[in-house]
Amino acid sequence: MQTIQQHFQVAYSYSIYFTRNLFEESNPLLRSFFEALHEPGFRRKALVVVDAGLLPHYPELPDAITSYFSTFSSHVHLVPDILLVPGGEQAKNDPALFDQLVRAVDEHGIDRHSFVIAIGGGAMLDLVGYAAAVSHRGVKHIRIPTTVLSQNDSGVGVKNGINYHGKKNFLGTFAPPVAVFNDLTFLESLDDRDWRAGISEAIKVALIKDRTFFAWIEANAEALARRDSAPMEYLIHRCAEMHTEHIRSGDPFEFGSSRPLDFGHWAAHKLEYLTDFSIRHGEAVAIGIALDSVYSTQSGLLPAAELERILTVFHTLGFELYHPKLSENDKLNLRNGLQEFREHLGGQLTIMLLERIGKGVEVHHMDTDVIASAVDYLQALYPSFAS
């Protein structure tokens, strides 16, 4: 009998809004979003989930959310219980939190035309996004990222996930949100490490794609280091723009092997595990970028003067670019990360390196001796860190 050929396309569309004080009653942005969606006959609900780490800085946040939603309750009905879940990578290691979220979707009758709204850092957004994506085969999900990293990178993208038996993002889906609201006031509460850490994803995307943006970061590195808000807002907007443009024009759900946005990430993922997540994702990414940049130079791809600029910009921003765990066990622990990275992506090993600032190049092999030598180079630069 004749083979049946199935083929179709699925269209996705969402906006990333930039604002301040999202839940102030005078701010019409979120209200307008729900009003525009209103359809007679639909009774939409919204379940709000807040990163518990925000509460010490914003104790009034749950009340502000409740008041804000009360001004348009005919368009969307807020579930009165605002759910709190812990933030940080550890939240992605705890299956009980995933269960708690799924149960809340069930108990509060959140259907596929209702909303789960997550407010928090990147790890917590990944967790809540995954629970929303698999409940009823996907309820509508709104992200309100509160950190530099989530506002310019993970929170504006299409992935979610949780860890499983020590494997990062082993369980997850590709599931675009229906909207992202970047509220820049949340950045004020970040400690210096979190403020800085998110900048490494902007440096990453500049290094592989946009020399002009890198030069802008160089010129503004000192202002960013002293926490000026204007350059940070530009950096987040430009990075989010490049991140979404990359998803749009490429392979949104990563059916192929190429993942240029994972520049510096093979070592970063491994280092996060080797340090038991005592370093932030963005801090690990900075080290991973430094390592792969040194590797690029040592293997003859990237001119030394370009490497110098890269290391200098990280240094000006206050990043440490070496960690003793890189050298542990004769660097074998780190090098195992390369194989694990290949397994997670699948297929052929594909690693992004640099041939110059603004231009990445993919390779399918890394020389373990050169990796070891690149680690030694970073250690020599930062002797204070040697174990």
Q: Are residues 95 and 62 in contact, defined by beta-carbon separation less than 8 angstroms?
A: no
DSSP state of 276: T
Instruction: Compute the distance between CA of residue 26 and CA of residue 338 in angstroms, rounded to an integer.
Output: 50
Secondary structure (DSSP) of 136-161: TT--EEEEEE-SHHHHHTGGGSSB--
Q: What are phi and psi of 192, to 5 degrees?
A: -60, -35
Give the shortest CB-303-to-a copy of itself separation in angstroms: 29
Burial string for 343-363 (b: 16+ CB within 10 Å, else e) reads eebeeebbbbbbeebbebeee
Give the shortest CB-253-to-a copy of itself separation in angstroms: 5
Q: Taking CB under 8 A as the rule, does residue 17 contact a copy of itself?
A: yes
Q: Dihedral sign for Cα 361, 366, 367, 372, please.
A: positive
Q: Taking CB under 8 A as the rule, does residue 93 contact a copy of itself?
A: no
Contacts of 227 (CB under 8 A, 6+ apart): 192, 195
- C-beta closer to a copy of itself: residue 6 or 73: 6
Instruction: Compute the distance between CA of residue 81 and CA of residue 295 in angstroms, rounded to an integer.
Output: 51
Q: Taking CB under 8 A as the rule, does residue 171 contact a copy of itself?
A: yes
Give the shortest CB-39-to-a copy of itself separation in angstroms: 8
Specify the residue for token string 């359809």: 39
Instruction: Compute the distance between CA of residue 17 and CA of residue 28 in angstroms, rounded to an integer.
Output: 12
Q: Taking CB under 8 A as the rule, does residue 96 contact a copy of itself?
A: no
Position among 25, 60, 74, 170 found at the interface with a copy of itself (CB under 8 A): 170
Q: Taking CB under 8 A as the rule, does residue 102 contact a copy of itself?
A: yes
Q: In the stretch 336-375, what mask flags binding to a copy of itself with x, by CB under 8 A? A: ------xxxxxxx---------------x-----------
Q: Taking CB under 8 A as the rule, does residue 6 contact a copy of itself?
A: yes
Query: What SS3 state is found at 233?
Result: helix
- C-beta closer to a copy of itself: residue 128 or 156: 156
Q: Taking CB under 8 A as the rule, does residue 187 contact a copy of itself?
A: no
Q: Taking CB under 8 A as the rule, does residue 240 contact a copy of itself?
A: yes
Q: Taking CB under 8 A as the rule, does residue 77 contact a copy of itself?
A: no
Position among 49, 65, 123, 156 found at the interface with a copy of itself (CB under 8 A): 156
- C-beta closer to a copy of itself: residue 151 or 296: 151
Strand partners of residue 120: 145
Q: Taking CB under 8 A as the rule, does residue 252 contact a copy of itself?
A: yes
Token pair listed for 267: 């070592």
What is the binding site for a copy of itself (CB under 8 A)? Answer: 1-18, 39, 41-42, 44, 102-103, 106, 109, 111-114, 133-139, 156, 159, 161, 164-165, 167, 169-174, 176, 233, 237, 240-241, 244, 247-248, 252-254, 257, 342-348, 364
